């Protein structure tokens, strides 16, 4: 599998889709939904922070963190710092994004955590946090010995892929849920806003697909051997 596809062109597709997703979610929340605010009498503006931070902050930055080993031709040690910092920023923005959804619910007298989307969301953020802490302790500081690191890596990659795929699926559920709420309050089912939301969800799924494809793709020739060595003991 690793030899079939080259990583570089896939990482370009990832960046292009990231920009497309970011533009679409901003156009939706600012142009169609009235903008973003942390404090507002129109509580929907507080909600709007949620999809923006979950998509641009959590999913896009998390995806860029995953592909950073393939997209940046830098030394392994530098790549590792970029990987963990991007994941940390994604996690913090994801937590603020979820906080915005809770704030919107609390200020609108809507119960919290009633939906599949919200249950999966909590599970994802908890697993992502545990995965980050485990990765930090084993691969960065204080760092496990070489055999523990090489034994831990396949599990780190597997859990990372699982949690990331779940996050993409949950974002799609979130778009569907919000659009269904809006349509049951009168939004045109075949109007421009409904199409924009559905296309944003499709672009998000494509983005996630290309991120995961990049994980299995081959690096360029110069760095391949270095990459192999680093996989056995970072
Ligand atoms: C992986 C990304 C996402 C995660 C981890 C996530 C997580 C969550 C969580 C934990 C809640 C519960 C808040 C509460 O109960 O007070 C929530 C609410 C909500 N989210 Fe997301 N979310 C994500 C992306 C999205 C996206 C992209 C949308 C698109 C609009 C969205 C739409 C909603 C809606 C409509 C609610 C309120 C209704 C409900 O609680 O199900 N979410 N989200």
pLDDT in tens, the chain (234 residues): 555 789 999 999 999 999 999 999 999 999 999 999 999 999 999 999 999 999 999 999 999 999 999 999 999 999 999 999 999 999 999 999 999 999 999 999 999 999 999 999 999 999 999 999 999 999 999 999 999 999 999 999 999 999 999 999 999 999 999 999 999 999 999 999 999 999 999 999 999 999 999 999 988 654 545 554 444 334
- If one residue of 118, 125, 207 were mutated to test the ligand 1 pocket, choosing by the most ligand atoms within 8 A of its CB, it would be 118
How many angstroms separate the CA atoms of 70 and 79, rounded? 9
164 to 53, 80, 106, 152, 216: CA distances (angstroms): 16, 18, 28, 18, 15
> What residue spans define the domains of the chain?
7-232
pTM over 0.85: yes
Q: Does residue 46's CB lie within 6 angstroms of at least one atom of ligand 1? A: no
- If one residue of 50, 110, 179 were mutated to test the ligand 1 pocket, choosing by the most ligand atoms within 8 A of its CB, it would be 50
The CATH architecture assigned to 7-232 reads Up-down Bundle (1.20)
Largest CA distance in the chain: 59
* List of residues 6+ apart from 17 with CB closer than 8 A: 203, 206, 207, 210
How many angstroms separate the CA atoms of 67 and 60, rounded? 11
């Amino acid at each position: 599998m690793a030899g079939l596809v080259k990583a570089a062109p896939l990482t370009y597709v990832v960046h292009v889709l990231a920009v497309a997703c970011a533009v679409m979610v901003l156009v939706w929340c600012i142009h169609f939904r009235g903008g973003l605010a942390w404090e507002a009498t129109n509580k929907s503006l507080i909600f709007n922070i949620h999809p923006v931070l979950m998509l641009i902050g959590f999913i896009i930055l998390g995806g860029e963190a995953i592909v950073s080993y393939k997209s940046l031709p830098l030394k392994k040690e530098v790549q590792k710092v970029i990987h963990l910092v991007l994941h940390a920023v994604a996690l913090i923005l994801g937590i603020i994004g979820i906080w915005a959804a809770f704030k919107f619910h609390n200020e609108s007298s809507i119960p919290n955590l009633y939906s599949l989307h919200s249950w999966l969301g909590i599970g994802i953020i908890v697993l992502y946090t545990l995965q980050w802490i485990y990765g930090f302790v084993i691969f960065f500081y204080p760092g496990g010995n070489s055999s523990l690191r090489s034994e831990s890596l396949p599990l780190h990659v597997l859990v990372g892929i699982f949690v990331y795929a779940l996050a993409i699926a949950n974002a799609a559920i979130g778009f569907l849920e919000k659009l269904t709420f809006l349509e049951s309050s009168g939004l045109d089912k075949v109007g421009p806003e409904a199409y924009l939301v559905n296309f944003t969800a499709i672009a998000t799924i494509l983005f996630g697909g290309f991120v995961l494809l990049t994980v299995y793709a081959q690096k360029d020739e110069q760095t391949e051997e270095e990459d192999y060595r680093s996989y056995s003991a970072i």
